[in-house]
Amino acid sequence: MQAATEQAKADPEKYKLSTVLEPGVRAGTYSYYDCGRDGHKAKIRSCWHGPNVAGYWLCWREKITGKKLTRTQWSAWKKRERAETEALRMFNREGR
């Protein structure tokens, strides 16, 4: 983890989508908007969390089906407010 942190600090733009979090940021605790269920009864969430080791806030879409969790549509933002706004935009796009 130390090596990943050093690489990200050296070149933040290259590692902006890294899922390694800053020291002190609790993994597993992230914010989300619950978008309801899709046509296949899967739960859909629009999530954000951060900052990661490169200093970016991450935003993604989560699909939960039975025992499977799929995370797609990743994006990275310099400010928490922008990541939250992007998650809200994704929530509104789901149309639920």
User: What does the pLDDT average to over 66-78?
Assistant: 92
Structural domain containing residue 47: 2-94
Quick: pLDDT tens for 2-15.
788 888 889 999 98
CA distance 26 to 42: 26
End-to-end CA distance of the chain: 39
Q: What pTM was estimated for this model as a whole? A: 0.84
Output the pLDDT for position 34: 93
Number of domain units in the chain = 1
| Rounded Cα gap, residues 23 and 13, in angstroms | 19
Tens digits of residue pLDDT in 16-59: 998 888 777 777 788 999 999 988 899 999 999 988 889 999 99
Q: Is the peptide bond before 23 cis (omega within 30 degrees of 0)?
A: no
DSSP 79: S
